[in-house]
Amino acid sequence: MHVNLSHMLRRDPWFLTGMILTLFFLMVTFLGPFLAPFSPWNMDFVPLSPPSSTHLLGVNDGGQDIFSELLYAVRNTFFFGMISASTALFLGVLIGALAGWFGGVADLILMRLADVLLATPAIMILILVAALFRPSPHILALILAGLMWPTIGKTIRSQTLSLKQSLHVRAARQMGGGSAYVISRHLIPEMFPLYLIGFAAKARMAMFMEAALAFLGLLDPSRKSLGMMISYALQYYYMDIWWHWLFPPILCLSLLIMMVTFLAISLEKVVDPRLRVNLPGRLS
Amino acid sequence: MSLMIQDFSVVYRDGDHSIQAVEEATLAVKEGECLALVGESGSGKTSLGKACLGLLPQNAETTGRILLNDRYMDFSNDMALNAIRWQKIAMVFQNGAETLNPSYRIIDQVAEPVMKLAGRSRKEALHRASRALLEMGLPENCYRHYPHQLSGGQVQRSLLAMATILDPDILILDEPTSALDALNKGFVSDIIEDYKQRGKGVLLITHDLAFAVAHGDEMAVLYLGQVMETLPAREMFSNPLHPYTLALGRSYPTMGTARELGGIRGDAFYRLVHQHGRGDAAQYHHSHIQIPESAHMDGHAPPVGCLFQGRCTQTIEACRTGIVTLETVAHHRVRCLRRGIVSILSLQGISKRYDEKTALHPTDLVLKAGDLLSLVGETGSGKTTLAMIAAGVLAQDRGSRILEDRDMDEWLKKDVRSMARKVGVVYQNPAASISHRFTVLDAVAEPLAIHGLGLGKDERKEMVKSVLVDVHLSTDDTFLGRYPHELNMGALQRVCIARALILTPSLLIADEPTSALDPSVQAKVLKLLLDLQTERGLTMLFVSHDIALARKISDRMGIMLSGYLVELGRASRIISNPVHPYTKMLLEGAGGNRQQGWKVPPDGEPSKGCPFFPRCPKGKNICQEEFPSIHKSEHGWVACHFVDV
């Protein structure tokens, strides 16, 4: 099965929307500090001012420029999601491939561990850890990754098991290829589409999780975050602030999550032939 | 009445070069026997024949001796020689029409030896000549014809009449059948048989191998003047020991051959001996191998290395430098440093179970170098299991495997890689056996990557290109950069074959390599495999369910049924004379016939007895009770209770 991925994806509206959003958020993330008119920690402005030409989205209750705050918050959430998702992906692929390839006791132990983690509610652990130890957001992202890898790991493992029986892997084994060779040259590249799907799903989960923790006030208050912005804005719900203070972070969070969701949906369609029927693409 | 040739050499001098035509041949034409000399043209057969009559040209130098009836022949004494020629030894020359004098009538020429050598009167001579011609079946009105008025067959008959007219003790026949069609060969056969019966000797020089096998008792295989092998003639096709004998047999079409003709790679060379004055070191040139200057030789010294090395498919380093002499191996004499064709793979008592089902019952199988064995049988008969155990991919439950004289299991444990280098595998589905993320270059170079060979990128690419040329694929960069899904199945299977061959394995295992291909592509791939076998001397284990396909390429065939190898033998024998009822069924099935009484294979395996019993038309009670014992025959066996039925 060789799917002409790029060709199929270029015609998929889900993928196109997702890619446009990705580009937009990548730009915001990397150019954010330069685009921001003020420092988000600068409290020199008149609190609760409505939007104006200097303050595009107004000023919050602490006298900080909301637009600058939003740029930094998007950046933080995005990073959190990426770090967490890529770590989870790395762990999942490594553990899944090793468990599937070697089987036996290693497989048994790793998969029971995965079962335990799957049964554990990640949000509860994170809330507890964040509340008790107040770790830095990066550590939290890694902890979250440690809780999220099992779904990826299980998928990779089952795929490895089926690939192990495939002719080209058996041929490579017959030619004298060792485990390291087969895993790195045959298994890891072969499962590439699965990584995208896994990554997208985990990034979505991680970003939502970060927003939730910040909303609950469990993260460093000086660290700008979409969840925290929403939380503060909600305290002034009776004022006419929803459209310039409450709505932008909610929109950004939604778009971020939409971005990865759209990508995941389109990639899943490409990879899973059963969903591919209506896709205007081409199999070759 | 015997002719012994002892250490006989012939060198043709021609200015500075000399051609070594025969080298130290020791052969014997025994009483009542026929010695067949075979070999490619230029191998020295005719020189040897002419030498027995002292008929070599002036520029020929000979050493060694020839004994007629235990007496040395003196080639310097013309008188003595004339007493022997025609009366003791007579020869029928090649190219009949050219050896007859065009200006004499046939009967006069036939009568000539009687007059000149036996000293009889013209009348008696003519009388005997006409009788001899009559015996040869020539119509009477031909006797007074001139040679050009006769047909090729008639010329050959008159020559035979001339040679036999004085009833010599030894008859030398040089290509007696080359001008004759199959029906006219009969009278030559009659003469040979008659001479043998009367206790006389026949030296038959021919390239007609089937004729040589039919009439020869001993056979000597000559190559570039050297006797490569002497063997009982009937074993020419069934049990050759020298690679040259095998290749020669494989090139010759007999009615029994089923597979395509193989040919021998490369071309035979003349053996030139350059001499720069007396005492200088002479150099042998053959098969583009040059002899180091330190080797002092004159025209009669043994050359360095084996003469067949350039064309042989099992050449090792020693063959290039060692001194090769005729050695007795079994009941043959073989001139080969490796004592004849080596055994590549030997499986003994291999068996395999998958959970509840026995996939393979204890099976023995031996593959010799250059052998092409097909495993044929219905699905689930254990063909692939056996092939994969042979490839070292699967491990057997019991039994031992030996690959190139090493225990394979131990080898696998110690060093998987060097073992893997010896075996190439081609799989049924070419598309699945290459990762779809590999380009052609990646795929073919994969074994190099695994074995860490040809580390330089360019070097690796060159190796890939050279093997792609071997499998008749393009070598340009566009092709090297293509992905499997961009190629058709035929090209893809060639890529797989190239990948299997790039490490120059000695054993190639092909598991249904053409079943995913359409017939025209299949034909090309099979032809390619055969060519590769000729060129590289690959030993091949070919798995197929298609007996019609297997017969076109196999030397030997193994018929598999429910994990048993029920019949094994030469492919031609199995096709023309199948013994096991199951083989017959497969053959009939391949022919599109379905005989009455054949039953559908039952589910499950019978606990005892012959696995074919439920479907066998010959089945008796005994078949249900016990597994048939194995009846061994020449190079094979049959497992059936009713072999003679």
Tens digit of each residue's pLDDT (9 = 90 or more) over B138-150: 888 888 888 888 8
Of B420, B429, B485, the CB nearest to A284: B485
Confidence of residue B454 (pLDDT cuts 50, 70, 90): low
Which residues, in sequence order, are bridge partners of residue B174? B205
Mean pLDDT of B504-530: 85
Mention every residue, 6+ apart, whose C-beta is less than 8 A from residue A130.
Answer: A140, A213, A218, A219
Minimal C-alpha gap between A171 and chain B (Å): 6
φ and ψ at residue B247, rounded to 5 degrees? -65, -40
Q: Which CATH superfamily is domain B343-422+505-563 in?
A: P-loop containing nucleotide triphosphate hydrolases (3.40.50.300)
Mention every residue, 6+ apart, whose C-beta is less than 8 A from residue B566.
Answer: B559, B560, B580, B582, B583, B612, B638, B639, B640
Q: Do the Cβ atoms of B420 and A171 come within 8 Å?
A: no
Q: Quick one: which H or E segment has residue A143?
A: helix A137-164
Q: Do the Cβ atoms of A176 and B436 come within 8 Å?
A: no
- In this predicted model, which residue has the larger pLDDT, A222 or B173? B173
Measured between CA atoms, the residue of chain B closest to residue A178 is B450
A258-278 confidence digits (pLDDT tens): 888 888 888 777 766 555 544
The angle subtended at Cα A73 by Cα A72 and Cα A78, nearest 5°, is: 100
- In this predicted model, which residue has the larger pLDDT, A155 or B626? A155
Three-class DSSP labels, B478-532: HHHCCCHHHCCHHHHHHHHHHHHHCCCCCEEEEECCCCCCCHHHHHHHHHHHHHH
- pLDDT at residue A91, rounded to an integer: 94
- C-beta contacts of A164-172 below 8 A and 24+ residues apart: A164/A100, A164/A101, A166/B432, A167/B427, A167/B429, A167/B432, A167/B433, A168/B432, A168/B433, A168/B434, A168/B435, A168/B438, A169/B435, A170/B393, A170/B427, A170/B433, A171/B425, A171/B427, A171/B433, A171/B434, A171/B499, A172/B435, A172/B446, A172/B450
Minimal C-alpha gap between B601 and chain A (Å): 29
Confidence of residue B644 (pLDDT cuts 50, 70, 90): low
- pLDDT at residue A30, rounded to an integer: 85
A vs B: CB pairs below 8 A: 65
- pLDDT at residue B202, rounded to an integer: 92
Domain spans of chain B? Answer: 32-58+81-241, 343-422+505-563
Measured between CA atoms, the residue of chain A closest to residue B436 is A2
- pLDDT at residue B301, rounded to an integer: 35
Of A171, A190, A284, the CB nearest to B433: A171
Of A1, A170, A176, the CB nearest to B421: A176
Tokens 């390599």 locate to: B513
A38-47, B367-376, B436-445: least confidently modelled range: A38-47
Give the B-side interface with A, CB within 8 Å.
391-393, 416-417, 419-421, 423, 425, 427, 429, 432-438, 446-447, 449-451, 483-485, 499, 503
Partners of A175 on chain B (C-beta within 8 Å) are 420, 446-447, 450-451, 499, 503
Minimal CA–CA distance to B426: which of B408, B447, B407? B447
Of A1, A176, A186, the CB nearest to B420: A176
Give the A-side interface with B, CB within 8 Å.
1-2, 166-178, 181, 185-186, 189-190, 284
Minimal C-alpha gap between B229 and chain A (Å): 37
Local structure of B368: helix, strand or coil: strand
User: For residue B77, is pLDDT > 70?
Assistant: yes
B141-155, B214-228, B242-256, B265-279: least confidently modelled range: B265-279
Mean pLDDT of B393-402: 85
- In this predicted model, which residue has the larger pLDDT, B560 or A284? B560
User: For residue B85, is pLDDT > 70?
Assistant: yes
Mean pLDDT of A70-82: 88
B192 residue type, one letter = I
CA A61 distance to own-chain centroid: 31
Residue A58 to residues A63, A76, A234, A236: CA-CA distances in angstroms?
9, 21, 15, 14
Local structure of B344: helix, strand or coil: strand
The mean of the pLDDT values for chain B is 81
Tokens 């892997």 locate to: A169
Q: Quick one: which H or E segment has residue A163?
A: helix A137-164
Residue A205 to residues A80, A122, B522, B530: CA-CA distances in angstroms?
11, 10, 53, 59
Q: Do the Cβ atoms of A174 and B435 come within 8 Å?
A: no
Measured between CA atoms, the residue of chain A closest to residue B446 is A172
Distance in angstroms (rounded) separating the CA atoms of residues B433 and B511: 12
Q: Do the Cβ atoms of B450 and A174 come within 8 Å?
A: no
Q: Do the Cβ atoms of B419 and A176 come within 8 Å?
A: yes
Distance in angstroms (rounded) separating the CA atoms of residues B338 and B312: 12
Measured between CA atoms, the residue of chain A closest to residue B426 is A171
Minimal C-alpha gap between B91 and chain A (Å): 58
Q: Do the Cβ atoms of B432 and A167 come within 8 Å?
A: yes
Minimal C-alpha gap between A83 and chain B (Å): 28
Mention every residue, 6+ apart, whose C-beta is less than 8 A from residue B275.
Answer: B16, B17, B18, B282, B298, B299
User: For residue B123, is pLDDT > 50?
Assistant: yes
Minimal C-alpha gap between A195 and chain B (Å): 16
B34-68 confidence digits (pLDDT tens): 999 998 887 888 888 888 888 888 888 888 888 88
User: How deeply is B413 buried, as exposed, middle or buried, from its count of CB atoms within 10 A (0-12, 13-18, 19+)?
Assistant: exposed
Residue B635 to residues B239, B328, B542, B558, B573: CA-CA distances in angstroms?
8, 21, 18, 11, 11
Minimal C-alpha gap between A100 and chain B (Å): 19
Tally of helices (H runs) and strands (E runs) in chain A = 12, 0
Length of chain A in residues, anyone? Answer: 284
CB atoms within 10 A of CB B594: 10
Residue B637 to residues A209, B542, B640: CA-CA distances in angstroms?
73, 19, 9
- pLDDT at residue B595, rounded to an integer: 57
Q: Do the Cβ atoms of A174 and B447 come within 8 Å?
A: no
User: For residue A22, is pLDDT > 80?
Assistant: yes
φ and ψ at residue B346, rounded to 5 degrees? -135, 115
Q: Do the Cβ atoms of A186 and B419 come within 8 Å?
A: no
Choose, out of A165, A173, A175, A284, the residue to mutate when testing the contact with B (most B CBs < 10 Å): A175
Choose, out of B411, B440, B446, the residue to mutate when testing the contact with A (most A CBs < 10 Å): B446
Cα dihedral across residues A245, A250, A252, A253: positive or negative: positive
Cβ–Cβ < 8 Å for B447, B433: no
Partners of A184 on chain B (C-beta within 8 Å) are none
The angle subtended at Cα B210 by Cα B206 and Cα B212, nearest 5°, is: 45
- pLDDT at residue B307, rounded to an integer: 78
φ and ψ at residue B14, rounded to 5 degrees? -150, 90
Confidence of residue B305 (pLDDT cuts 50, 70, 90): confident
Partners of B447 on chain A (C-beta within 8 Å) are 175-176
Cross-sheet strand order for the sheet of B423-426: B423-426, B507-511, B539-544, B372-377, B556-561, B564-570, B636-639, B630-633
Mean pLDDT of B96-110: 83
Token readout for A160 is 């490895």
A169-215 confidence digits (pLDDT tens): 888 888 888 888 888 888 888 887 788 888 888 898 899 888 888 88
Measured between CA atoms, the residue of chain A closest to residue B393 is A174
- In this predicted model, which residue has the larger pLDDT, A64 or A89? A89
Minimal C-alpha gap between B551 and chain A (Å): 27
C-alpha atoms less than 13 angstroms from C-alpha of A259 in its C-beta half-sphere: 22
Mean pLDDT of A223-251: 83
Q: Do the Cβ atoms of B433 and A185 come within 8 Å?
A: no
B317-344 confidence digits (pLDDT tens): 777 777 788 888 878 888 888 887 888 8
Q: Quick one: which H or E segment has residue B37?
A: strand B34-38
Token readout for B203 is 């030296």
Mean pLDDT of B269-274: 58
Choose, out of A168, A181, A282, the residue to mutate when testing the contact with B (most B CBs < 10 Å): A168
Confidence of residue B263 (pLDDT cuts 50, 70, 90): low
A5-32+68-275: CATH topology: MetI-like fold (1.10.3720)
- pLDDT at residue B210, rounded to an integer: 87
- pLDDT at residue B288, rounded to an integer: 38
Partners of B482 on chain A (C-beta within 8 Å) are none
Minimal C-alpha gap between A178 and chain B (Å): 8
CATH number at B32-58+81-241: 3.40.50.300
Distance in angstroms (rounded) separating the CA atoms of residues A196 and A6: 13
Measured between CA atoms, the residue of chain B closest to residue A167 is B433
- pLDDT at residue A231, rounded to an integer: 86
Minimal C-alpha gap between B61 and chain A (Å): 55
The angle subtended at Cα B275 by Cα B270 and Cα B277, nearest 5°, is: 165
Measured between CA atoms, the residue of chain B closest to residue A192 is B437
The whole-model pTM stands at 0.74
Measured between CA atoms, the residue of chain B closest to residue A177 is B450
- pLDDT at residue A277, rounded to an integer: 46
Of B423, B427, B437, the CB nearest to A167: B427
Of A169, A174, A181, the CB nearest to B425: A174
Minimal C-alpha gap between B416 and chain A (Å): 6
